[in-house]
Amino acid sequence: MSGGGLLVAGTTSDAGKSVVTAGICRWLVRQGVKVAPFKAQNMSLNSFVTREGAEIGRAQAMQAQAARVEPTALMNPVLLKPGSDRSSQVVLMGKPVGELSARGYHGGRQERLLGTVLDCLAELRGTYDAVICEGAGSPAEINLRRTDIVNMGIARNARLPVLVVGDIDRGGVFASFFGTVALLSQEDQELVAGFLVNKFRGDVSLLEPGLDMLYGLTGRSTYGVLPFQHGLGIDEEDGLRVSLRGTVRESVVAPPVGEDVLRVAVCAIPLMSNFTDVDALAAEPGVVVRFVDRPEELADADLVVIPGTRGTVRALEWLRERGLADALMRRAAEGRPVLGICGGFQVLGEHIEDEVESRAGHVDGLGLLPVRVRFAREKTLTRPVGEALGEHVEGYEIHHGVAEVTGGVPFLDGCRVGEIWGTHWHGSLESDGFRRAFLREVAAAAGRRFVPAADTSFAALREEQLDRLGDLIENHADTDALWRLIESGAPSGLPFIPPGAPA
């Protein structure tokens, strides 16, 4: 017998679908329910490598952690990794299968993936008591409905009830809820069970008349009003957008242990990927992380991080155009710390041979590390374990670039020359002992009286965050009604709201 299911859709991108899905997963697992997350198709530059060597969206990996299960490719069968505004690498069942334009993907390829997506969902539902699915964007994107495999397309085929999340902090949430339903066909509307208000500030009693009117207009209940709370985001996923300042999760940071803070500047390079690597730095008391795009912003930084990217050659060009490359060269000459991760490691090398990603051929790197990079068609997807600075380190690798290290001091899979460090390992800074040892090296080189906290556990902070998401659902959603929805499907007899989808 298949397990229960639910599709969490949203009125817009960033309405809170990822957070709500993770919260429902954590609430359910605390009730003893065996639950798994699922997102049929994800567009993200932030990805993760599962134990079997499959690449999936980081949001689904975090949702799996919320559900206390090991992430697998089944949970995110289709991952799109943008390479520009018009094309993406298609990752199917954890492996790259090619580069497609948006027109090519939506023009037929996407539809052909529906069978794979439904098979993955069916396998999860055969294994778990409940599968909480996340939609993408809005289910009312009428231009894309014919080929949809992530919103109502999958809801219809798998008979999933749909909960629509709306971000009231943006304004217009009632119009968004009503309009979302009213732009769906009658068959799609029959599965839209109701709504969930996200990020509400103030007195809920003032909202209740509007919720009653919404019920009168649509015949659909609101399953909860979640209050606005700082620092509840999980790893970002959708699109190419990233704020240059303030990307790191808002949170209450403890004062520094030592006399000084440590300032970290992250170069906001194009097609930045897995910038979640710096979350572990931001979690440290006394470490201040900001994203920068101007050379003068590196001046007072104790550490500069060049993160991963889906466009290494493009990132190099950007660094040079902005004057950041020259600023990095000056830092190296002055013995001031720089850390390059994955694509950021590659730009620090001597040269790059790229006939795969940019097809630019031979490109000179910044020449700060004795490394030569050749892009291979096969993507490296591994979960390495090792040691650095006398500490145990775990990470994950996602890259086409193969690095030949010809000198320097070994550092993970890369090297170190003076205070310039480079590695392909994402996630290494989540290893607490290594992170502390690395920050002590940075503080010494920067002349800062910074002392890493002895008890910061990044894994524990992640768990706290996921528990807060579970609390949000448990305390502010109608959990009895939510469970009935998951177990029994959408209520029968839901009214049709005209005009419905265009013919």
Provide the annotated active-site residues.
Answer: 342, 426
Output the 3-class SS for 70-123: CCCHHHCCEEEEECCCCEEEEEECCEEEEEEEHHHHHHHHHHHCHHHHHHHHHH
Both structure tokens of 96: 């790259």
SS3 (DSSP) at 135: coil
Residue 51: its H or E element? none
* Rounded Cα–Cα distance for residues 26 and 12 (Å): 23
Q: With contact defined as beta carbons under 8 Å apart, do 79 and 91 qualify?
A: yes
Task: Compute the radius of gyration of the chain from its Cα atoms.
Answer: 23
Q: Rounded to an integer, what distance in angstroms lies between the CA atom of residue 219 and that of residue 180? A: 14
CA dist 141 and 208 (Å) reads: 28
Please classify residue 2 by burial: count the beta carbons closer than 10 Å to its beta carbon, then call 0-12 exposed, 13-18 middle and 19+ buried.
Answer: middle
Q: Which residues of 64-76 are buried (b: 16+ CB within 10 A; e: fewer)?
A: bbbbebebbbbbb
3-class secondary structure for 261-306? CEEEEEECCCCEECHHHHHHHHCCCCEEEEEECCHHHHCCCCEEEE
**Residue 495 DSSP class:** P
In angstroms, the Cα distances linking 329 to 290, 298, 339, 418, 420 are 20, 12, 13, 13, 10
Tokens of 179: 């309009």
| CA atoms of 367 and 255, how far apart (whole Å) | 38
Cis peptide before 499 (omega within 30 of 0): yes
Amino acid at 148: D
Spatial separation of the C-alpha atoms in residues 159 and 177, rounded to whole Å: 21
